A and B are shown apart, each in its own frame.
Chain A
């Protein structure tokens, strides 16, 4: 797998650390109850198909990026900087 880092260009997946599904939103710690946090931490959509996911370019620019990847084929459709990704 080669991941197109927005800064560094296409790099081997070996350089990146995987974080997982980018969809879940961390509940507001001041407001949320236990159930909301359990729902954030444990269950997963575990998509079979196109998935937006967080990768960290640990051995490159050390930036968090959001990669769109198909979990059935490992085909990568694109990547954006995590801070610029649509929420």
Chain B
């Protein structure tokens, strides 16, 4: 069914009895042209663009749990393209442009809300760095606006401007940045891919790879049987090392836990996203009214999907320093997601060193905003066996060859660069 104002009115008048499931919960077939491992945002987006843009529809997405149950449901829903380095800007801007047309493309309300992303600065040096970043963005055709203190006061008057340690002196604002509804993004991609013939197979965990006589990957062993495939594509960030290890690979990745928090629902108070990098804190407000915020990774290897109290304390201290009024809001929930932390803080979209295997990994704590471009570029790589120009820098061999993309100057730990 195509969603429209007419379908909504028709269903409203007929008691909402005609809504069918949004996608087919498929059974595995013995073989596909492409098997995508991982039914999160990136895997589903890859399936959608494979089918829609590259015409490959004999595709299965296999997911160990339910779709969108991993990091797709554990992020803080921020979209932005305020990057500095040449390897990153075109990719994240492609993603931003895909976000802007996503709902029309998918015929699904992903609640893309471009209310702006503001990075605060507290010193001359930091303002200079943001000016450089903003100029780099504008040279690539991305919107960026440098605000002075007065500009920040107009945008977010409730901030603590006179903090003794980090007085707010200005900020870099990307007005096209904002948030999107994370679940809707997954469901929208699943529905669009399923409509084009992609099989979405849930509760189907990959337990090994099927190898040909030459060592090439020719399928996957799963908890629901063997599935042969022309190509196998991994989109399992958080668990990339575990899955790749089944093919004998060691990746430049550590899995770390990143915590996030949401308060009780409040009336609208936060305009867009505000980041307080110096205090390791960022915040936005969901359409439901909850304040969604987070900070740093816990800092030790973890697959546990939950963090510890020191980082909870650190994040809350950052929040209180930035905007003391949130001290009166009650915390509703907190959770942890497992991040693929690469050694330079940038992702990998590349051929694996095993024939037949494709790798989409290493999203660190920035995977959500990349979802559309990640899917598009990964689909390009799978369909054409050549990297998409916007993602050509995300090579697996860049670590050994010294072509790292150290946007933030650090990877899993600050001492790696």
Binding site for B on A (CB under 8 A): 1, 12-14, 18-21, 34-35, 38, 41-48, 51, 53, 69, 71-74
B354-388 Cβ-contact flags toward A at 8 Å (1 or 0): 00000000000000000000000000000000000
Closest residue of chain B to A74 (Cβ to Cβ) is B304
Residues of B within 8 A of A53 (CB): 300-301
Closest residue of chain B to A51 (Cβ to Cβ) is B301
B230-250 Cβ-contact flags toward A at 8 Å (1 or 0): 000000000101100000001
Binding site for A on B (CB under 8 A): 239, 241-242, 250-255, 299-304, 308, 310, 343, 399-400, 412-413, 416
Residue pair B251, A46 in contact (C-beta under 8 Å):
yes
Residue pair B400, A74 in contact (C-beta under 8 Å):
no
Residue pair B250, A74 in contact (C-beta under 8 Å):
no
22 A-B pairs whose Cβ atoms sit less than 8 Å apart in the complex: A1-B308, A13-B308, A18-B299, A18-B413, A20-B413, A38-B399, A38-B400, A42-B343, A42-B400, A44-B250, A45-B241, A46-B242, A46-B253, A46-B255, A46-B301, A47-B301, A48-B239, A48-B255, A69-B300, A71-B301, A71-B304, A73-B304
Closest residue of chain B to A15 (Cβ to Cβ) is B310
| Known pairs A44-B251, A44-B252, A46-B241; A20 contacts B301 (CB<8 A) | yes
Residues of B within 8 A of A43 (CB): 250-252, 399
- Give Cα A73–Cα B400 distance, bound, in whole angstroms: 32
Partner of A35, one of B308, B343, B400, B413: B400
- Give Cα A73–Cα B334 distance, bound, in whole angstroms: 17
Partner of A14, one of B254, B304, B310: B310
Residues of B within 8 A of A1 (CB): 308
- Give Cα A53–Cα B300 distance, bound, in whole angstroms: 9
Residue pair B303, A71 in contact (C-beta under 8 Å):
yes
Residues of B within 8 A of A34 (CB): 400
- Give Cα A43–Cα B254 distance, bound, in whole angstroms: 9
Closest residue of chain B to A18 (Cβ to Cβ) is B300
Residues of A within 8 A of B343 (CB): 41-42
Residues of B within 8 A of A35 (CB): 400
Partner of A48, one of B242, B250, B310, B400: B242
- Give Cα A80–Cα B343 distance, bound, in whole angstroms: 27
Q: Assuming A20-B254, A45-B241, A48-B303, what are 15 further A-B pairs, CB within 8 angstroms? A: A13-B310, A20-B301, A21-B301, A34-B400, A38-B399, A42-B252, A46-B242, A46-B253, A48-B239, A51-B301, A71-B301, A71-B302, A71-B304, A72-B304, A74-B302
